[in-house]
């Protein structure tokens, strides 16, 4: 009887520990993101193990502005309340110009490279801060970049 | 009973020895801390400057390296920073540090008659408060005074940053 109780309690403790370890390591995330090289708008992340992707897009009416971002994420450190990763981002944005070029569609590429961290807020929310360097406006400009995002993880 | 006492004593003694030997082991990297993040600094009339930041601490003494690049067809400029830090107060949620910062700015945009060859130094002294939000993540506030443009004048400086402890 005692042996049985010990075995049962051990297995329950093990289960709890396993659940705790899974917090913050969910594969899927959806949320909103804003960044110079990762993109603005709705965002989805898929991170099965160490390597993952992030897709972010925003489409405004009348082709005024739209952007599509694809980012590769690589998890470096996983901790209980946070994780640290490296990213490589690619953003394609298009908009209608104003002034004497009025009405002409225009497009730009933005590419970034940097690091980021996700701070877990409770069991399902993650607040992201990312920083690095990036090429702006079709490789015309090279400078710092910063990105942020809030995700629901499941 | 005697045997049992002997076993307990031997067990306790061996446990103590193991603990002792573990704590005596050399831990060359345990006192080092690595932080990575971003900082925004404001000094004089330069406006806010954003920088990538890396911090290395040995116990309570640290150095902070920062960099800001901007290269384009119409303007090339960069900023390099080296800050010495000493942590004099540490609690669970807050740390206080004395900081001595040294920044070098260089830009195509500076008129060369004022900035020979084309850059200048800012050297400051101040205090920093690090608010520990989630174990490894902290938000930093900096405040102090700075010698501006190669000791030309003294101006206040402030800064805001975030760092992740690796």
Answer yes or no: pTM beyond 0.90: no
Answer whether A123 touches B (CB < 8 Å). Answer: no
Between strands A51-59 and B76-90, the pairing is: unpaired
Residues of B in contact with A127 (CB under 8 A): none
d(CA A56, CA A104): 24
Split at pLDDT 50, 70, 90, the class of B157 is confident
Residues of B in contact with A129 (CB under 8 A): 38, 162, 164
Split at pLDDT 50, 70, 90, the class of B19 is very low
CB contact under 8 A, B51 and A144: yes
Q: What is the helix (H) or strand (E) element at residue A94, kind and residue range?
A: strand A82-96
Ranges of each domain in chain B: 33-165
Would you identify the CATH topology of the domain B33-165? Porin (2.40.160)
Asked if residue B50 lies in contact with residue B69, where contact means CB atoms within 8 angstroms, the answer is no
pLDDT per residue rounded down to tens, chain A (154 residues): 555 555 544 444 454 445 555 666 788 999 999 999 999 999 999 999 899 999 999 998 877 888 999 999 999 988 888 899 999 999 999 887 666 556 666 789 999 999 999 999 888 899 999 999 999 988 889 999 999 999 999 8
CB contact under 8 A, B69 and A144: yes
- The reply to whether CATH 2.40.160.20 applies to domain A2-153 is yes
Residues of B in contact with A141 (CB under 8 A): 70-73
Query: What is the average pLDDT score of chain B?
Result: 80
The partner residue sitting opposite A129, judged by closest CB among B136, B162, B166, is B162
The partner residue sitting opposite A119, judged by closest CB among B52, B71, B137, is B137
Answer whether A12 touches B (CB < 8 Å). Answer: no
CB contact under 8 A, B136 and A79: yes
Ranges of each domain in chain A: 2-153
d(CA A92, CA A97): 16
- In this prediction the ipTM stands at 0.73
Determine the average pLDDT of the residues in B121-142. Answer: 90
| Max intra-chain CA distance, chain B | 93
């Amino acid at each position: 009887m005692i042996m049985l109780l010990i075995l049962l309690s051990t297995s329950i403790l093990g289960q709890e520990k396993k659940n705790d370890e899974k917090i913050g390591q969910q594969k899927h995330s959806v949320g909103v993101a804003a960044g110079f090289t990762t993109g603005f708008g709705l965002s989805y992340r898929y991170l099965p193990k160490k390597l993952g992707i992030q897709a972010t897009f925003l489409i405004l009416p009348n082709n005024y502005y739209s952007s599509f971002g694809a980012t590769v994420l690589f998890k470096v450190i996983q901790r209980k309340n946070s994780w640290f990763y490296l990213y490589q981002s690619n953003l394609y944005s298009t908009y209608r110009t104003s002034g004497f070029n009025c009405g002409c569609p225009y497009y730009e590429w933005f590419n970034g490279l940097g690091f980021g961290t996700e701070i877990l807020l409770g069991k399902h929310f993650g607040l992201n801060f990312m920083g690095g360097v990036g090429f702006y406006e079709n490789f015309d400009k090279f400078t710092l970049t910063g990105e942020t995002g809030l995700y629901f993880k499941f | 009973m005697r045997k049992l006492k002997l076993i307990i004593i031997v067990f306790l003694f061996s446990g103590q020895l193991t603990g002792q030997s573990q704590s005596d082991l050399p831990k060359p990297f345990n006192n080092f801390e690595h932080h990575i993040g971003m900082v925004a600094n404001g000094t004089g009339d330069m406006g806010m400057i954003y920088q990538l930041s890396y911090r290395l601490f040995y116990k309570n003494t640290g150095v902070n390296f920062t960099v800001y690049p901007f290269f384009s067809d119409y303007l090339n400029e960069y900023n390099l920073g080296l800050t010495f830090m000493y942590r004099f107060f540490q609690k669970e949620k807050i740390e206080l540090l004395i900081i001595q910062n040294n920044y070098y700015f260089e830009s195509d945009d500076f008129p060369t008659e004022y900035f020979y060859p084309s850059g200048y130094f800012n050297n400051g002294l101040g205090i920093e408060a690090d608010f520990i939000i989630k174990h490894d993540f902290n938000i930093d506030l900096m405040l102090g005074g700075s010698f501006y443009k190669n000791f030309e004048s003294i101006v206040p400086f402030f800064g805001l940053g975030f760092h992740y402890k690796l």
